[in-house]
Amino acid sequence: TSPIPPCGACRQSIAEYEFKQENPIEIYFMGETGAIYKSDSLKNLLPFMFDKNFL
C-alpha cells in the first residue's frame, strides 16, 4: 500500500506538541511496502497551523 499521511485532526495535535516543546517532530510515512517518506517538522504538512497565539 502507499504511504498515508496523518489526518487533519492528528496534524493539529502533533502541531500543538511541537509548539509546546519548542522542537520539531519528525514524521515518517510508510505503507506495508515501498517508499518511506520523512518530514522534518509538522510545519511542512500544516504550514498555517492554528496555535494559542491566535486566541
Type of residue at 16: E
pLDDT band at 37 (very low <50, low <70, confident <90, very high): very high
Residues 6+ apart with CB under 8 A from 28: 36, 37, 38, 39
pLDDT in tens, 18-36: 989 999 999 999 988 889 9
Other C-beta atoms within 10 Å of 15: how many? 19
- Residue 22 DSSP class: T
Indicate the average pLDDT of the chain.
Answer: 88
pLDDT band at 52 (very low <50, low <70, confident <90, very high): confident
Question: pTM of the entire structure?
Answer: 0.73
Predicted confidence at residue 48, as pLDDT, reads 82
Helix (H) or strand (E) holding 39, with range, is strand 36-39
16 close to 55: Cβ distance less than 8 angstroms? no
Predicted confidence at residue 46, as pLDDT, reads 84
